[in-house]
């Protein structure tokens, strides 16, 4: 491999334009004649709209159109950007007269300015009947609570996901030690910097959309179905994106935007406020978990019993698939495994996809118990986990997923090396919390599919067309590196065009840590196809047989000498009678979803007078396969640690039980860590190679967040000597500060 | 977005500023408290009067042994100034504890002291508040924090106030052509009544040389941006006076008299602090606190945050 391309510290292709401000996000586009759209939202978590009158709104000069629930009454859909699945329930409305959460969409308005839109929302005359709201899983499961969607399910506990291996009851009964606990994690929001936005233009029988979108091809499929159009009539373009983290793995307000555009005949821009972002987009599921762990005195963990209740909010969206993914993320070789996941409707903000997709919740509960087991047995927590860890060739409990590569020992060795360095620097005593986790590369059900096409230019540079959506994680850069490596050309000779349903080929979507593994494999195939097609064309032009043309290191070999990639391109394009245009194409359907692994250590120290905990250091080492881009991987690890610390420490969407109001409605009230809050971070991606990966790479996107909250909570539990059962720590009576704040 | 329309003016003297002030107008300094309130539809002034062109309000001087801080002095400027005075380190900590670097570059000392009390049910947008009955502050008669209480129980979150109160600061107020000096405590007790349309012009920290120690501690959920869950300031003067103030736990900062007097006694006898003093402080703080729910913090979590009182005592040299 060319070390100047693969594994190098290559800056992201789009970094400069992001920094100098010339990059264009959705809100930077303003097609001629554009209007603004806004959504009237329920101020109550559960209500019925008895009467709605838009006369005053329509009388406002500059208001161009209004749509009401009765205009869209027949349409039900599921907004999730997953490929079609029987698990996904069609329970959403474009607009509703029976709002099921605070923020549910009741009406929409298009006007000439954002200010007019805001004023218009205040002039709808709406009469509500306020109904009792189920604001927790417990309340939703109470027999006296009516089902939220009686036409879909008689109970709010509407889907059960199950995975089994061995016999967990017998397994637990045979164990020397059984530990159990009931754990809880909160709903959290990823808070992408760029608000959710779209511009929709319905012209004639076609729709053009610019949107913050992780899954343009799935969204196209849903919209085309919704409006009875062929998919070819719907074009979705994803401009630069300021984050997604899963929250944009679905439709948001494109349906409303499209209908407003249809009604006005003009493009309509929908740009959410931060308040709407917090209340009316999607969150990570709040979870209640009952976990049992059975082990022998020698440390062998032989049985694991996990039952989870997820608060999916008012609508299904991703709910059951999150549970399905969650049940398949155990990296310990237990003989007996039982997973039960309940998807529960409540009147809370709708939950959807968010980095980790169910994994952070259970990893927290499971790792807490494993740490307690280590203490009970007097074992080193790293070593106990290593003893039970899956090896290459094993399958993941409850699944058929193969462990095709695992470098966990190297991850531990590297983490230990860093820990010793940190300990040598710290004067005060502290406690380390350890957590392990695994994730997959691409969806764990192996539904990942991606494709790429490559067009060859005369000078040997190429146009690489990808369906994958770079949402800020850097996948376009990584894909360009893979193409350059396989084609043997310079990185600057690859131009990437991506995530435009009219001009790039299909991709399942940006989710499930897919892009490097699934998208990367498609690029490898496309590049190989390009080489093959170019070699054939070159043979024709030069009058030799295709078998006589070889290719290695960017150079074609022919019977009469060698020929660079660029020379070959020139000869083929302008080579006389036999000249032609050369394409490469690749379609990759996942055959495996190779697991990736992380070891995370977080250190806290406790003030003996005040009890205040200080978070001083966090280490994470990962096995993500062969690293394609060191910068991107480091960014993912550090970003994952920051987001994971927030999850463990301070983040939670809060609803006031008395008023039913969503309290954490802006970025002041909802707490994500600031730069001041991040302790010293140390990260490493260890040497690893996966045979199924493109150039040996696996994934990195979600993995790095998953173990962090667990490691933090374990460290806190060790520091305080008090068992912790719920996140975030700041909600409990544990005062915590970051080292930087204390240092001031 | 501010949808409400208003006029905006920048008078160039205190006389002009006061002449423009009426029930329908507000003064604006840095705007970091007022502008969000306008965006959230909490204020509907017809006129916004900026004090930025009024001369003489943005300097820090020492006059007759007193430190005189203009109300329009930027927080960042005060932070830089106080870096040079070891006995004002706590004031420096207090200023640096406010919000974020961006806000400290535009926010002012006067604005920080005159900030509105805050509440999770009040500091929300108009659309958000449509789902609840109006409260005492929005034209209604209920407190969503404490429905049984006949008045608003919102808390005051200034980080500067405890430090200034502990330092016995006075405030200078311009009204009707006169400049008057009052204890800061008096102003904070009823800001709009005390100001009566006048302008807070200066904060006077008396006898700086005599101030031996000034310590400040804050606990917030995050290390930046956040308002305090609790804060505390402690001063020791050469004459032996000790002042201990706790903030963010009550509608106005409170003085922990018993603790400060026990501390003064210990310091007089030049004895090392007895462990008992921390318990006294914790008990007195708990007795005087009136915590309400804040984002991510229940009243019980706020109670915990009162460890700042113990921390500030431990900071004593």
Listing DSSP states for A195-223 in one string gives PPEEEEEEETTEEEEEE--S-HHHHHHHH
Mean pLDDT of chain A: 96
Same domain, yes or no, for A290 and A331? yes
Is residue A697 one of the residues assigned to a domain?
yes
Same domain, yes or no, for B163 and B197? yes
Q: Cβ of B3 and A115 within 8 Å?
A: yes
**pLDDT at A733 (0 to 100):** 67
Chain A from 38 to 77: CB within 8 A of any B CB: 41-44
In this prediction, what percent of chain A has a pLDDT beyond 90?
A: 95
**pLDDT at B272 (0 to 100):** 85
Reported as a pLDDT band with limits 50, 70 and 90, residue A519 is: very high
**pLDDT at B10 (0 to 100):** 98
Q: What CATH number is given to the structural domain containing A511?
A: 3.30.365.10
Cis peptide before A669 (omega within 30 of 0): no
The contacts of residue A68 (CB under 8 Å, 6+ apart) are A52, A54, A95, A107
Cβ of B122 under 8 Å from any chain A Cβ?
A: no
**pLDDT at A743 (0 to 100):** 52
Is residue B118 one of the residues assigned to a domain?
no
Q: What is the rounded average pLDDT of the residues A82-96?
A: 97
A684 - beta bridge partners?
A621
Cβ of B99 under 8 Å from any chain A Cβ?
A: no
User: Which residues span the domain enclosing A62?
Assistant: 31-131+193-243+248-280
Reported as a pLDDT band with limits 50, 70 and 90, residue B74 is: very high
For B187-247, give the DSSP string: HHHSHHHHHTT-EEEEEEE--GGGEEEEEEEEE-SSSSSPPPSEEEEEEEETTS-EEEEEE
Same domain, yes or no, for B48 and B68? no
**pLDDT at A621 (0 to 100):** 98
Q: What CATH number is given to the structural domain containing B5?
A: 3.30.43.10
Query: Which of A133, A614, A652, A663 should one mutate to test binding to chain B, selecting the residue with the greatest count of B CBs within 10 A?
Result: A663
- The total domain count for chain B is 2
Same domain, yes or no, for A413 and A372? yes
CA distance A435 to A713: 10
Is residue A171 one of the residues assigned to a domain?
no
Q: Cβ of A102 and B131 within 8 Å?
A: yes
Q: Among A650, A658, A676, whose Cβ lies nearest the Cβ of B296? A: A650
Is residue A179 one of the residues assigned to a domain?
no
CA distance B203 to A568: 79
Same domain, yes or no, for A122 and A212? yes
Check if the beta carbon of residue A270 is closer than 8 Å to that of residue A34: no
Reported as a pLDDT band with limits 50, 70 and 90, residue B68 is: very high
Same domain, yes or no, for A325 and A367? yes
Instruction: Give the tokens for residue A58.
Output: 């329509």
- The total domain count for chain A is 3
Q: Cβ of B304 and A609 within 8 Å?
A: no
Is residue B127 one of the residues assigned to a domain?
no
pLDDT single digits (tens) B204-234:
999 999 999 999 999 999 999 999 999 999 9
**pLDDT at A734 (0 to 100):** 72
Helices and strands per DSSP (H, E), number in chain B: 14, 12
- Any idea which of A390-394, A729-733, B236-240 has the lowest mean pLDDT? A729-733
Is residue B139 one of the residues assigned to a domain?
no
Same domain, yes or no, for A385 and A453? no
Neighbouring CB atoms inside 10 A of A74's CB total 7
Which ipTM value was assigned to this complex?
0.96
Q: What CATH number is given to the structural domain containing A102?
A: 3.90.1170.50
The contacts of residue A150 (CB under 8 Å, 6+ apart) are none
Distance of residue B148 Cα from the nearest chain A Cα, in angstroms: 13
Q: Cβ of B131 and A114 within 8 Å?
A: no
**pLDDT at A691 (0 to 100):** 97
Distance of residue A253 Cα from the nearest chain B Cα, in angstroms: 19
**pLDDT at B317 (0 to 100):** 80
Cβ of A737 under 8 Å from any chain B Cβ?
A: yes
Q: Cβ of A654 and B219 within 8 Å?
A: no
In this prediction, what percent of chain B has a pLDDT beyond 70?
A: 100
pLDDT single digits (tens) A205-229:
999 999 999 999 999 999 999 999 9
Cβ of A104 under 8 Å from any chain B Cβ?
A: no
Same domain, yes or no, for B93 and B228? yes
CA distance A128 to A144: 23
User: Which residues span the domain enclosing B77?
Assistant: 60-113+156-314
Is residue A153 one of the residues assigned to a domain?
no
Q: What is the rounded average pLDDT of the residues A52-63?
A: 98
Query: Which of B222, B286, B294, B303 should one mutate to test binding to chain A, selecting the residue with the greatest count of A CBs within 10 A?
Result: B222
Is residue A536 one of the residues assigned to a domain?
yes
The contacts of residue A4 (CB under 8 Å, 6+ apart) are none
pLDDT single digits (tens) A620-638:
999 999 999 999 999 999 9
Mean pLDDT of chain B: 96
Q: Cβ of B100 and A674 within 8 Å?
A: yes
Is residue B134 one of the residues assigned to a domain?
no
Over the range A23-61, which residues count as b (16 or more CB within 10 Å of their CB) and which as e? eebbbeeeeeebbbbbbbbbbbbbbebeebebeebeeee
pLDDT single digits (tens) A411-439:
999 999 999 999 999 999 999 999 999 99
Same domain, yes or no, for B236 and B288? yes
Is residue B140 one of the residues assigned to a domain?
no
Query: Which of B93, B127, B134, B231 should one mutate to test binding to chain A, selecting the residue with the greatest count of A CBs within 10 A?
Result: B127
Q: Report phi then psi at A485, rounded to 5.
A: -65, -50
pLDDT single digits (tens) A106-133:
999 999 999 999 999 999 999 999 999 9
Same domain, yes or no, for B178 and B34? no
Does A104 score more than 90 pLDDT?
A: yes
Chain A from 204 to 233: CB within 8 A of any B CB: none
Gyration radius from chain B CA atoms:
20
CA distance A417 to A422: 9
DSSP assignment letter at B138:
G
Neighbouring CB atoms inside 10 A of A694's CB total 27
Is residue B120 one of the residues assigned to a domain?
no
Is residue A154 one of the residues assigned to a domain?
no
CA distance A671 to A711: 20
Same domain, yes or no, for A423 and A342? yes
Same domain, yes or no, for B18 and B67? no
pLDDT single digits (tens) A281-338:
999 999 999 999 999 999 999 999 999 999 999 999 999 999 999 999 999 999 999 9
> How buried is A309 (Cβ within 10 angstroms: 0-12 exposed, 13-18 middle, 19+ buried)?
buried
**pLDDT at A744 (0 to 100):** 45
Same domain, yes or no, for A572 and A605? no
Alpha helices in A309-455 (DSSP H): 319-326, 359-377, 381-388, 408-425
Is residue B126 one of the residues assigned to a domain?
no
Same domain, yes or no, for A654 and A684? yes
**pLDDT at B66 (0 to 100):** 98
Instruction: Give the tokens for residue A523.
Output: 């690029």
Please choose, from the candidates A80, A82, A282, A310, the residue with its C-alpha nearest in 3D space to the C-alpha of residue A188: A282
Same domain, yes or no, for A108 and A256? yes
pLDDT single digits (tens) A249-291:
999 999 999 999 999 999 999 999 999 999 999 999 999 999 9
Same domain, yes or no, for A566 and A613? no
Same domain, yes or no, for B51 and B64? no
Q: Among A610, A659, A675, whose Cβ lies nearest the Cβ of B144? A: A659
Q: What is the rounded average pLDDT of the residues B93-102?
A: 96
Cβ of A327 under 8 Å from any chain B Cβ?
A: no
Is residue A145 one of the residues assigned to a domain?
no
Same domain, yes or no, for B85 and B189? yes
Q: Cβ of A661 and B311 within 8 Å?
A: no
Chain B from 30 to 89: CB within 8 A of any A CB: none
Q: What CATH number is given to the structural domain containing B189?
A: 3.30.465.10
Is residue B128 one of the residues assigned to a domain?
no
Q: Cβ of B96 and A674 within 8 Å?
A: no
**pLDDT at A121 (0 to 100):** 97
Same domain, yes or no, for B252 and B305? yes
CA distance A545 to A536: 8
Interface A:B, Cβ pairs < 8 A = 108
Same domain, yes or no, for B66 and B175? yes
Asked which of A556, A589, A622 is the last residue of a domain, the reply is A589
Is residue A3 one of the residues assigned to a domain?
no
Same domain, yes or no, for A324 and A425? yes
Q: Cβ of A664 and B226 within 8 Å?
A: no
CA distance A528 to A690: 19
Q: What is the rounded average pLDDT of the residues B123-144?
A: 96
**pLDDT at A742 (0 to 100):** 58
pLDDT single digits (tens) B275-287:
999 999 999 999 9
Same domain, yes or no, for A602 and A697? yes
CA–chain centroid gap for A586, Å, is: 24
**pLDDT at A741 (0 to 100):** 61
């Amino acid at each position: 491999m060319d070390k100047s391309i693969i594994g190098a510290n290559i800056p992201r292709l789009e970094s400069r334009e992001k920094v100098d401000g010339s990059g264009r996000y959705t809100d930077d586009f303003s097609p001629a004649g554009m209007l603004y759209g806004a959504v009237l939202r329920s101020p109550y978590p559960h209500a019925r709209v008895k009467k709605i009158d838009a006369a005053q709104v329509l009388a406002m000069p500059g208001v161009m159109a209004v749509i009401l629930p009765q205009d869209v009454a027949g349409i039900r859909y599921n907004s999730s950007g997953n490929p079609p699945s029987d698990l996904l329930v069609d329970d959403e409305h474009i607009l509703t007269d029976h709002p099921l959460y605070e923020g549910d969409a009741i009406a929409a308005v298009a006007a000439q300015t954002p200010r007019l839109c805001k004023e218009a929302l205040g002039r709808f005359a709406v009469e509500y009947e306020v109904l009792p709201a189920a604001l927790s899983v417990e309340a939703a499961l109470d027999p006296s609570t009516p089902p939220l969607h009686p036409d879909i399910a008689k109970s709010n506990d509407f889907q059960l996901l199950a995975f089994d291996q061995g016999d967990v009851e017998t397994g637990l009964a045979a164990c020397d030690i059984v530990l159990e606990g009931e754990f809880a994690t909160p709903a959290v929001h990823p808070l992408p910097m760029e608000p959710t936005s779209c511009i929709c233009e319905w012209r004639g029988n076609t729709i053009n959309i610019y949107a913050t979108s992780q899954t343009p091809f799935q969204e196209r499929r849903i919209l085309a179905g919704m409006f009875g159009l062929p998919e070819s009539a719907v074009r979705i373009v994803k401009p630069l994106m300021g984050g997604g983290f899963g929250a944009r793995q679905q439709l948001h307000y494109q349906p409303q935007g499209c209908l407003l555009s249809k009604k006005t005949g003009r493009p309509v821009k929908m740009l959410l406020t931060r308040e709407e972002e917090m209340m009316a987009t999607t969150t990570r599921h709040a979870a209640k978990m009952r976990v049992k762990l059975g082990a022998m005195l020698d440390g062998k963990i032989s049985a694991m019993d996990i039952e989870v209740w997820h608060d999916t909010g008012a609508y299904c969206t991703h709910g059951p698939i999150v549970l399905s993914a969650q049940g398949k993320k155990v990296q310990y070789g237990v003989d007996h495994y039982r997973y039960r996941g309940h998807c529960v409707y409540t009147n809370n903000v709708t939950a959807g996809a968010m980095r980790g997709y169910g994994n952070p919740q259970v990893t927290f509960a499971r790792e807490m118990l494993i740490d307690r087991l280590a203490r009970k047995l007097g074992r080193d927590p790293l070593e106990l986990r290593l003893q039970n860890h899956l090896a290459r060739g094993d399958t993941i409990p409850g699944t058929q997923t193969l462990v095709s590569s695992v470098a966990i020992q190297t991850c531990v060795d590297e983490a230990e090396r860093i820990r010793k360095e940190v300990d040598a620097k710290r004067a005060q005593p502290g406690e380390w919390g350890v957590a392990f986790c695994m994730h997959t590369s691409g969806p764990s059900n192996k539904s990942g599919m991606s494709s790429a096409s490559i067009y060859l230019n005369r000078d040997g540079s190429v146009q690489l067309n990808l369906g994958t959506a770079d949402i800020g994680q850097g996948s376009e850069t990584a894909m360009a590196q893979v193409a350059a490596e396989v084609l043997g050309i310079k990185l600057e000779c690859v131009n990437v065009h991506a995530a435009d349903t009219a001009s790039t080929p299909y991709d399942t979507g940006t989710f499930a840590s897919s892009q490097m593994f699934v998208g990367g494999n498609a690029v490898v195939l496309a590049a190989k196809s390009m080489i093959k097609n170019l070699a054939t064309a070159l043979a024709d032009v030069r009058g030799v047989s295709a078998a006589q043309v070889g290719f290695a290191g960017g150079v074609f070999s022919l019977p009469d000498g060698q020929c660079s990639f660029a020379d070959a391109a020139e000869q083929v394009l302008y080579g006389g009678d036999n000249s032609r245009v050369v394409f490469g194409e690749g379609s990759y359907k996942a055959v495996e979803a190779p697991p990736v692994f992380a070891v995370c250590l977080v250190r806290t120290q406790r003030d003996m007078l005040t009890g205040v905990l200080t978070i001083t250091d966090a280490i994470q080492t990962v096995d993500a396969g062969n690293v394609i881009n060191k910068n991107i991987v480091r960014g993912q690890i550090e970003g994952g640690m920051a987001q994971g610390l927030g999850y463990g420490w301070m983040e939670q969407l809060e609803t006031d039980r008395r008023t039913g109001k969503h309290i954490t409605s802006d970025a002041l009230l909802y707490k994500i860590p600031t730069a001041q809050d991040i302790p010293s971070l140390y990260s490493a991606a260890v040497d690893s190679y996966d045979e199924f990966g493109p150039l040996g790479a696996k994934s990195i996107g979600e993995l790095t967040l998953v173990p962090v909250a667990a490691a933090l909570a374990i460290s806190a539990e060790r520091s305080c000597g008090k068992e912790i059962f719920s996140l975030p720590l700041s909600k409990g009576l544990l005062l915590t500060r970051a080292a930087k704040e204390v240092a001031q | 977005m501010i949808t409400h329309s208003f006029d905006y003016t920048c008078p160039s003297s205190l006389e002009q500023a006061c002449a423009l002030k009426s029930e329908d107008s507000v003064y604006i300094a840095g705007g970091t408290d007022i502008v969000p309130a306008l965006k959230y539809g909490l204020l509907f002034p017809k006129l916004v009067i900026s004090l930025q062109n009024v001369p003489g309000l943005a300097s820090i001087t020492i006059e007759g042994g007193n430190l005189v801080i203009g109300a329009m002095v930027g927080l960042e400027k005060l932070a830089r100034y106080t870096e040079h005075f070891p006995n004002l380190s706590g004031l420096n900590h207090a200023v640096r504890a406010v919000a974020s670097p961006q806000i400290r570059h535009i926010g002012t000392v006067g604005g920080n002291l005159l900030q509105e009390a805050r509440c999770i049910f009040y500091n929300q947008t108009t659309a958000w508040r449509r789902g609840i009955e109006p409260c005492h502050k929005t034209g209604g008669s209920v407190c969503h924090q404490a429905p049984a209480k006949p008045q608003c129980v919102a808390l005051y979150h200034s980080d500067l106030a405890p430090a200034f109160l502990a330092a016995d600061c006075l405030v200078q107020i311009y009204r009707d052509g006169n400049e008057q000096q009052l204890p800061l405590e008096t102003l904070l007790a009823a800001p709009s009544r005390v100001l009566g349309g006048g302008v807070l012009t200066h904060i006077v920290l008396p006898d700086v040389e005599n101030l031996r120690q000034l310590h400040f501690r804050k606990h917030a959920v995050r290390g930046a941006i956040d308002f305090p869950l609790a804060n505390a300031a402690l001063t020791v003067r050469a004459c032996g006076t000790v002042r201990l103030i706790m903030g963010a736990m009550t509608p106005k900062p409170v003085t922990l008299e018993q603790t400060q007097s026990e501390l003064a006694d210990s310091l007089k006898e030049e004895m090392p602090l007895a462990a008992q003093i921390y318990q006294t402080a914790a008990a007195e703080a708990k007795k005087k606190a009136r915590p309400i729910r804040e984002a991510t913090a229940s009243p019980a979590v706020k109670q915990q945050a009162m460890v700042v009182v113990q921390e500030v005592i431990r900071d004593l040299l």
